[in-house]
Amino acid sequence: MTDIERRAVIKTALAVGAAAAIPSAASAADKPLAGKSVLITGASSGFGYLGALHYARLGAKVIASMRGLPRKEADELKAEATKEKLDIHIIEIDVTSDEQVAKGVAEAEKIAGGPLDILINNAGVGYAGPIELQDMAATKLIFDTNVYGPHRMARAVLPGMRKAKRGLIFNISSQLGRVIVPSAGHYSPTKFALEAMSEAMAYELVPHNVEVCVIQPGGYPTKVWVNRNQLASELKSRLTEDQAAAYLALVNSMGKEDGTRRSADPMDVPRAIAEIAAMPAGTRPLRRAVHPGMKPQEAINKVSAETQLAMLGNSPFGPWVKAVHD
């Protein structure tokens, strides 16, 4: 039986196997990620920091990576892990550095004792302001972090995952990876690119039994807004008078969004990731919108899946597309 056929029959076999699995499922309910190794990028704050603790509490061996070690956030995470006796290891990875990604993933695989089970591409940055005003320094940084960073990380972990014939990659996108709000700089362009890259990888990795899942959060009160304000303020200081005058209202608002208007619980995202990670291979969704409020991307996700199936379902790529969307 081929890997594609095996993935297809998993779904129909679940109902039959559920009854027999009840005792073991009950015993594993408290630790659904036991035995799993999880590598997270951008674990110094927000979804990454909260997720590192959450996945470890669910039994995973967590390798939490962040830039610029040593730093107080790493010390705080380590102290919490020690207090709760959690299996969390902290390593340095700057996703914009080829060298650090290669070195960091090698270290993570050594800690895990082999190929990683799960990669969570969480590191990301945001900017504000009109597209015209995004200079090349801002443009290169956001694409290097939000698009090339996940690509570097995936390329580094995939040889091991392919060899093991298993693996799961989460890419943290956004509502703004499907819908567009003016004056968010290249945030939407980078997240649209991440969405496309993730879906292409999901198809291509079907024969290797490696899955890709895109998480699409709405707005949450995390440190991303503080970082965004800093970057937007730096960009604002580089504008010419003519540039600033051309988009006066939008420029005046740059660097002033602090996230305090957003009251949703950031733990929504780690909980969603853990839920999906605990699902049997072959049953996980390609995309998951996460927010207690509006989820405008869900309608687009539905139409996109239907269009992909209609266009490629009967093509040579049909089995891959159906394995991802069915």
Confidence bin at 195 (pLDDT 50/70/90): very high
Alpha-helical segments (H) within 85-135: 98-112
pLDDT at res. 9? 46
Question: What is the percent of the chain with per-residue pLDDT over 90, rounded to a whole number?
Answer: 82
Alpha-helical segments (H) within 28-148: 46-57, 72-84, 98-112, 136-143
- Does residue 52 contact residue 26 with C-beta atoms inside 8 Å? no
Sign of CA dihedral 136, 137, 142, 143: positive
Question: pLDDT tens digits for 141-152?
Answer: 999 999 999 999
CATH 3.40.50.720 assigned to domain 32-298? The reply is yes
Question: pLDDT tens digits for 158-188?
Answer: 999 999 999 999 999 999 999 999 999 999 9
Structure tokens at 252: 């005046």
Select from 274, 301, 290 the least CA-distant residue to 40: 274
Question: pLDDT tens digits for 93-141?
Answer: 999 999 999 999 999 999 999 999 999 999 999 999 999 999 999 999 9
Confidence bin at 264 (pLDDT 50/70/90): confident
How far apart are the C-alpha atoms of 74 and 65, rounded to whole Å?
9
Give 184's DSSP letter: B
pLDDT at res. 201? 98
Catalytic residue positions?
44, 173, 187, 191
> If you average pLDDT over residues 6-17, what whole number do you get?
47
Select from 200, 169, 203, 201 the least CA-distant residue to 321: 203
Task: Please name the residue that has the structure tokens 């290249």.
Answer: 186
Structure tokens at 110: 């050594």
- Does residue 161 contact residue 104 with C-beta atoms inside 8 Å? no
Dihedral, 150, 156, 161, 163 alpha carbons, nearest 10: 150
Select from 187, 49, 185 the least CA-distant residue to 120: 49
pLDDT at res. 28? 65
- Does residue 324 contact residue 203 with C-beta atoms inside 8 Å? yes
Give 42's DSSP letter: S
Select from 28, 90, 89 the least CA-distant residue to 59: 28
Confidence bin at 7 (pLDDT 50/70/90): low
Q: Give the least confident one: 170-179, 224-233, 277-286, 302-311.
A: 224-233
